[in-house]
Amino acid sequence: MRAVTPAPAACRHADTLKAALAQLDGVILGKPGQTRLAVACLLARGHLLIEDQPGVGKTTLAGALARTFGLDFRRVQFTADLLPADLTGVSVWDAPNSAFSFLPGPVFSEVLLADEINRATPRTQGALLEAMEERQVSEGGVTRPLPDPFFVIATQNPAAFVGTSPLPEAQLDRFLMTITLGYPDPRAERTLLETGGRSLSVRGLGAVLDAATLVQMQREVDGIHAAGPLLDYLQLLAHATREHPGLSVGLSPRALLALLGAARAWAYLAGRPMVLPEDVQAVFPALATHRLPPRAPGVGMSDLLARLLADTPIP
């Protein structure tokens, strides 16, 4: 009797992922690339920063992701008077039991939308980013782990908007990817007008999968193979950013590991058991834009990164 070869890890959940992406495409109209980057960020255990003006679907994307993947969702509106304890939680005195009782904050959720993160003070921003990095909260001498999975989607208004506090470079590095939704294309905008926005509601979305399945997928992403020549390509890209005359700094070793993880997630979305150079190229702009400050202001980063990718040879 012929033995049955088990399906590669990247193919076991292909139908489920396809259904999830189709549902998201029905909500976020005309943005399949950004939607797939957001899903890849989730699969790679990263966090996502969305930089754009209000009203282009940032909150809709966050809510749709949470409902599609069957995850607990909380939203926090960041303002100048938001305190770190408003995010992480606080211990209050429980008189009947003569002890302090911890009331967890909204950070104890599987998907947290940090809306307009650059409107909060640096102290509050730092409290969230510490939780993102350590995936735990320390309060009152007790360390409490955050849920698994734990995914932060932060939105950021343009720096020119009133009342914003830009995130420092070291804090931006805590986000795996940055995307911009932008305006919808004419066809998607027409659909929006004809439906009055009803097609963009996330309240009626059902869960395509659950948290346990997502965690299993994340483990499978870690197992996507990266061959030696692919690692050579990653190092060539990193060297190119470090030597580029138009960039102040290049990719750090931590950023290079993040690039590998994001490329593995992109290959997983494509149903492949190994990473190809095109997977690296697909996620590179979203990973590098917020990590590579240009030397001269006003430089178009999309064009600069496209040229860098074109000039870096594939081994």
Model confidence over 202-212: pLDDT tens digits?
778 889 999 99
Helix (H, G, I), strand (E, B) or coil at 68: helix
- What is the DSSP secondary-structure string of 48-104? EEEE--TTSSHHHHHHHHHHHTT--EEEEE--TT--HHHHHEEEEEETTTTEEEEEE
Of residues 69 and 4, more confidence is placed in 69
Instruction: Decide if pLDDT at 5 tops 70.
Output: no
- The pLDDT score that the predictor gives to residue 197 is 63
Determine which of 96-100, 116-120, 145-149, 272-276 has the lowest per-residue pLDDT on average: 96-100
Read off the tokens for 52.
């754009």
**Cα 284 to the center of its chain, rounded Å:** 13
Q: Which of 120-124, 170-174, 271-275 shows the highest mean pLDDT?
A: 271-275
Average pLDDT rounded to a whole number, residues 294-304: 83
- The pLDDT score that the predictor gives to residue 198 is 55
**First vs last C-alpha separation in the chain:** 42
The rounded distance, in Å, linking the Cα atoms of 296 and 140 is 45
- The pLDDT score that the predictor gives to residue 2 is 43
User: In the chain, what percentage of residues exceed pLDDT 90?
Assistant: 54
> Does the pTM of the predicted model rise above 0.75?
yes
The rounded distance, in Å, linking the Cα atoms of 74 and 147 is 13
Average pLDDT rounded to a whole number, residues 218-223: 95
Determine which of 127-131, 304-308, 310-314 has the lowest per-residue pLDDT on average: 127-131
- What is the DSSP secondary-structure string of 108-125? SSSEEEEETGGGS-HHHH
The rounded distance, in Å, linking the Cα atoms of 121 and 79 is 8
Give phi and psi for 130, each to the nearest 5: -65, -40
The rounded mean pLDDT for the chain is 87
* b/e sequence 56-66, b meaning 16+ C-beta within 10 Å: bbbbbbbbbbb
Determine which of 52-56, 129-133, 186-190, 291-295 has the lowest per-residue pLDDT on average: 52-56
- The pLDDT score that the predictor gives to residue 11 is 60
Q: How far is CA 158 from CA 8, 35, 42, 51, 164, in A?
A: 42, 21, 24, 7, 8
Indicate the residue type of 280.
V
- List pLDDT tens digits, range 138-184: 877 788 899 999 999 999 876 656 556 677 787 888 999 999 988 88
Average pLDDT rounded to a whole number, residues 296-309: 87
> Which ranges of the chain does DSSP label H, i.e. alpha helix?
9-12, 14-27, 32-43, 58-68, 84-88, 122-134, 169-172, 186-195, 211-222, 228-243, 253-269, 277-288, 301-311
Average pLDDT rounded to a whole number, residues 50-75: 89
Of residues 266 and 101, more confidence is placed in 266
Average pLDDT rounded to a whole number, residues 272-277: 96
Instruction: Decide if pLDDT at 295 tops 90.
Output: no
Q: Which residues pair with 154 in a beta bridge?
A: 49, 114
